[in-house]
Chains A and B, each alone.
Chain A
Amino acid sequence: MVDHPSDSHTIARYESTRGYTQGKRALGLTRDELIEEIKMSGLLGRGGAAFPAGLKWSLLAPARPSYLVVNADESEPGTFKDRQLLERDPHQMIEGIIITSIANEVHHAFVYIRGEYSKPARRVQAAVDEAYAKGYLGKGIFGSDYVLEVTVHLGGGAYICGEETAMINSLEGKRGEPRLKPPYFPAAKGLYMMPTIVSNVETVSNLPHILAMGAGEFSGLTGNADTGTFMTSLSGHVNRPGNYELAHGITWRELIYDVGGGIPDGKGLKAWIPGGASAPWFVPEEHLDLEITKDATAAAGSMLGSGAVIVMDEDTCMVKAAERVIRFFAHESCGQCTPCREGTTWLEMILRRIEEGQGRAVDLDLLVDVSDGISIGLVWPPKMTTICPLGPSAVSPIIALRDYFRDEVDSHVSNGGCPYKTQTRETSEKTSEVDRPSDKDLMPSSERGSGGRPPEVAE
């Protein structure tokens, strides 16, 4: 644990650590040189899809103007790494914006910040103002004739706006709904139908360091194909939850037991979610000694996603946990695609019924079948039979129930309710007692709302 300097968000502090030197240097590099450098570094996107950053740049369509949208709509449950980057080191991101913009001939960049992140948004806006005042942003950056405007935009509190095309719709003032791909790949037809780079905060924040240390050194930070360091948000039943910057390649055991300090009260580990709520779950019997790399995780049928790791101890009710995760997705579904809109809520209803003692023996098969309707074939990565991955991601907990916790579902049915209910931690989860809000109680349109999180749907 390192004590963080209290003024790390200021431009003075950032510049005292050689900040903005790489942004300035990038002005002297060509688009091709920058793309090559980033490709060499092996930097993967840190928003969840782990798409190679340099490749993304090279795929930008030639039409201009082009735009950059930094995805700071960090809403994947369990993920809070970008928040820290935004709050504590906004200039690092701004320098990354400058580098990305120069590489992609962008003259207007947007930072789309999650609606609930008011403090990070204030910090970023203040940092952008400082950078403008110094002449690092605006008309003629670093004394050149390069124009770069940066607009900080606060979202309306919808998870789906973290999906890049929904984010673009939202930025344009439309309903936050994912666009059809094809034809609306942001690199071809993005913001205002122009070529657009959408990058995660952490991805962009890596860029000054890659230019500073060189692609070779960056990729050498780890001893495997996943280059550089990554941020992970460790939460749940661990003794030391928090954000950690780690080299790829340590094992889950090391992360949970060494970095995280193990499970409180010496309890056993039941399961963890390796990469944000969308990721298929891992269990200690099969996955504890896997390396934390993109390929190893994918081979085991899951993903590193947003870098969020949620740990669940042996006393966690898996039905309840699944219900909670799926409730989130049902609540955050945009409602466009039939399977996601109808299916996620149906799953949530069935799980709640089981949890509350109304389960039937056929319900697990029904859950799996309904999930199959949302994510045809139930494979990972999903077949994407919906416009965006939200729906297919929502079924991950059902797969865990089917593969690892079938007996737990059965005991809910045979016991007429949750066997864990009397034991632990009901204090923080009271939603099951809340009545489903009526129509009138819901906000008129949460996507267009005033920024607050809409009331959660619970039944």
Chain B
Amino acid sequence: MSEAKLVTVTINGVESQVPAGELLIKAAQDEGTYIPRFCWHQRMSPVGMCRMCLVEIETPRGPMMVTACTSPVSDGMVVDTESEEVKKAQEAILEFLLANHPLDCPVCDKGGECPLQDQALAYGPGESRFVEIKRSFEKPIPISELVLLDRERCILCALCTRFSEEISGDPLIEFQHRGNTTEVNTFPDLPFSSYFSGNTVQICPVGALTAKPYRFRARPWDLQKVESSSLQDTAHPRIEIHASQNEILRYTGVDNDATNHGWLSDKARFGYEYLRSDQRLTSPLVRRGGELVEVSWTEAIDTAANRLDLIKSEDGGEALAVIGGAQGTNEDAYAISKFARVALGSNNVDARLDDALASHFLSASVDRATIADIDDADTIVVWAPDLKEEHPTLYLRVRRAAQELGATLVVIHPRATGLDDRASHKLTYRPGGGYELLDELANGDHPEVSQAFAAEKVVALVGIASHADGPQLAESVAALVRRKAVHAKLMPLNSRANTYGALDMGLAPDLLPGRVGLDTIGCANLAASWGDIPAVIGRDTRQILQGLDSGEVRGLVLVGADPINDLPEPSIAVDALDAAEYVIAIDLFLNDSNRNADVILPASGFSEKEGTVTNVEGRVQKVNQIRPAPGQARTDWAILDDIATRMGVSLGLASAEGITKEIATVSPAYEDLTWDSLEWDHRDGIVVPIHGAQAINHIPVALQGSKAPTAKLTLHVARVMYDNGVRLQHSPSLHKLGPGAVAHLNPGDAPSIGARDGHTIKVVTTRGEGEFTCVLDEGTPTGVVYVPFNQQGASSLGSDPVVRVTTS
């Protein structure tokens, strides 16, 4: 942190040094003096509306009352926050606020954690002299599928309206009318359908905004709380898990500078319902005569281990494979990695589901950008999936940098993205035409972008914007950025939350824990601890599935993975799983991929186990347990350790914390990490260094790649926030928010196809076809058909961009 200039202020007679220009309310708080407030929030611009933070400052003309939230500190400022005048003002404000506020605290969700309640007690007059009739509104009214609004309770602090406008960029909730009839509301026919709506519920200082999934389910003082990090967002935003009687009732965002500033996407905030689903797997299942039968753990482990042992003895470890591990903890991932290498004797292991960037690029690029680097950047390049859909925390951070911090934002994507309104430059290209655009950029055909690259601090967020271009494009983009801006920092993006942790633990066919390659000295070091490690680079997810189809791979262990729904080309997974000789699945639910497995083992999920996780910037944080796993479910590592033991191989995994210690001994990047330090000294986590890894320094710029197809229409398939993934399927509040089977077309393309908004159209590719509801949308360029990936009722179309659209 740069050294800010300090000034001297005297608050209630105590002198202190505070950063120049800081708002008095914040400076006082940091110095231990709490000035009451309702409308001020440290992550938003001040509005000075509630007037609760009035304090007295000395001026040459005598004491003057000012709002502490709008007054920057200045040298020599003398402040009194407790004078008689101040006290009188505070009492007056609270009496005014309570005049029209219903006293329904006993049935209000906010009761017990309500700033209005707390401050009325601490600073209020104790009784009201208001004998007139209170303002009344219909209460509560739903303003979205997730949020209800009670305008009677609202104290008009503008936190929700400011959040929507300043932070999330969805100004769907606004003040209406004026004066004493002012109300917060949505606009007619425009619901508060923001991906970030839950934040307004959390910051509402009264019970005016409540969330459907939590309403009336608990009293705050009954809640058990533990801090953790969300695994429904690649940035791992810090959360607090609130539970009562072993049932999770809500997540709240925890404010921290490192990742999320306290904000959460609605997916990360409300995505806990699946954990309490009655569809959770609770006992081990083994297939007998075609039917799945509940068996004891002993029997299930025995069955699985025997078969794996048999295949291994017949065809060696190459005939066995593991897919998954990107949704759990690092400890689980480490166990999978060790299990595959040591117990199965195979490098056929991959946490990426054929939709990711290369393992070495994701895990070992030098000059990896941190999330905080986004704040400092002069230029931010986003050639990646729509951050608003897939990386919501990064979306908010980039949005803020472009809007508040003056960064030049370059967005490159096949269609409209959530950041376009804040982008200085937006380039759109046809799916499959990424290399052509890259070539143009290399030649300097877009001078405004070249100029942006010339800035001093450049951060590039690169990912797979369109599967039509293949994952190598992102590496070439990174290389080009590096060539244009030598000191650019890179953030390679991947969609599953703990992919980075999984890769750091060696869940890739060419990586070992500690980002160690198979042919390196690091490998030899690891072998000293693990024993023999297969020398041949294994199969990645696609190759594993192809091997299953051809019979070269006979046995598959799926750990929390559903390739049929997650792969860009599901047909490969369908064929492979049909052909597979033996499948063992460790999971929370039955899904399309494990439904026909031979052994299904119930796993514990998020909040049911402790461990560490690693986010998109390499930040390791601790996740914590607050409830027991249902039934007989167990952690992935414990299950795998048991199977290995039954196979006659000891993995030596005895506890999650023990695994963390083992990771520290085998992975130099993780050597300083202990639970103790993550729990006490570094609650916001530690960014692990790249050192010790095979740093990827030089990436060749490949300008030769696919060409945009010459077809009249090209297909763009992309993930959206709410998909049909198994966790969302079992989270009823969120599942219904997905767009469903829709295909977007530019209105200009509609007449030639005969498509009309809301009507059914048929979309045909070389890999699949299906019927979709047509959405005419200016955000989709002409010549492009945009279909959200993995939606309920939608057929898979594969990633080939050649597409034909007809009216049904």
Contact = CB atoms under 8 A, between A and B. Distances in A.
B177 A341 contact: no
Which of B51, B96, B155, B179: most chain A Cβ within 10 A? Answer: B179
A446 interface: yes
A330 B96 contact: no
B114 interface: no
B179 A331 contact: yes
A353 B137 contact: no
Contact of A339 (B96, B175, B181, B182): B96
Contacts of A370: 92
A290 interface: no
B46 interface: yes
Interface stretch (A36-44, A48-56, A199-207, A381-389): A381-389
A445 B177 contact: yes
B70 A339 contact: no
A333 interface: yes
Given A180-B47, A349-B132, A447-B178, A338 B65 contact: no
B180 A338 contact: no
A212 interface: no
A354 to B, nearest CB: 12
B176 interface: yes
Given A385-B65, A447-B178, A342 B99 contact: yes
A196 interface: no
Interface string A430-459: 000000000100111111000000000100
A372 interface: yes
A385 B70 contact: no
Nearest to B158: A336
Contact of B179 (A182, A341, A369, A439): A341
Nearest to A438: B136
Contacts of A383: 64-65
Contact of B177 (A180, A344, A446): A446
A442 B177 contact: yes
Interface string A367-398: 00110111011000001111100000000000
Interface string A157-188: 01010000000000000010000101000000
Which of B49, B180, B182: most chain A Cβ within 10 A? Answer: B180
B501 interface: no
A337 interface: yes
Nearest to A181: B70
Contacts of B85: 376-377
Nearest to A390: B179
Interface in A328-378: 330-339, 341-346, 349-350, 353, 366, 369-370, 372-374, 376-377
Contacts, number: 117
A349 to B, nearest CB: 4
Which of B46, B54, B132, B155: most chain A Cβ within 10 A? Answer: B132
A373 B97 CA distance: 12
B139 interface: no
B49 A338 contact: yes
A376 B46 CA distance: 22
A336 B177 contact: no
B93 A339 contact: yes
B181 A442 contact: yes
Contacts of A349: 132
Contacts of B137: 439
A333 B179 contact: yes
Contacts of A331: 179
B95 A373 contact: yes
A175 B130 CA distance: 30
A338 B178 contact: no
Nearest to A175: B175
B179 A180 contact: no
Contacts of A373: 88-89, 91-93, 95-96
B100 interface: yes
B182 A341 contact: yes
Nearest to B182: A335
A457 B181 contact: yes
A306 B180 CA distance: 26
B96 A336 contact: no
A16 B179 CA distance: 48
B410 to A, nearest CB: 25
Interface string B50-70: 111010000000001100001
A336 B49 contact: yes
Which of A336, A339, A343: most chain B Cβ within 10 A? Answer: A336
B320 to A, nearest CB: 65
B180 A341 contact: yes
Contact of B88 (A353, A376, A444): A376
A441 to B, nearest CB: 11
A194 B600 CA distance: 67
B73 interface: no
B156 interface: yes
B178 A180 contact: no
Contacts of A447: 178
A383 B70 CA distance: 16
Nearest to A332: B179
Interface in B88-115: 88-89, 91-93, 95-97, 99-100
A334 B179 contact: yes
Interface string A401-422: 0000000000000000000000
A346 B130 CA distance: 8
A342 B65 contact: no
A445 B178 contact: yes
B48 interface: yes
A158 B179 CA distance: 11
Contacts of A336: 47-49, 156
14 contacts: A333-B180, A334-B182, A337-B51, A338-B52, A339-B51, A339-B93, A341-B96, A341-B179, A341-B182, A342-B100, A346-B130, A385-B51, A387-B48, A444-B177
Interface of B: 46-52, 54, 64-65, 70, 85, 88-89, 91-93, 95-97, 99-100, 129-130, 132, 137, 155-156, 175-182
Given A331-B179, A338-B155, A385-B89, 15 more contacts: A182-B70, A330-B179, A335-B175, A335-B178, A336-B48, A338-B51, A338-B96, A341-B179, A341-B180, A344-B179, A346-B96, A366-B129, A385-B65, A439-B181, A444-B176
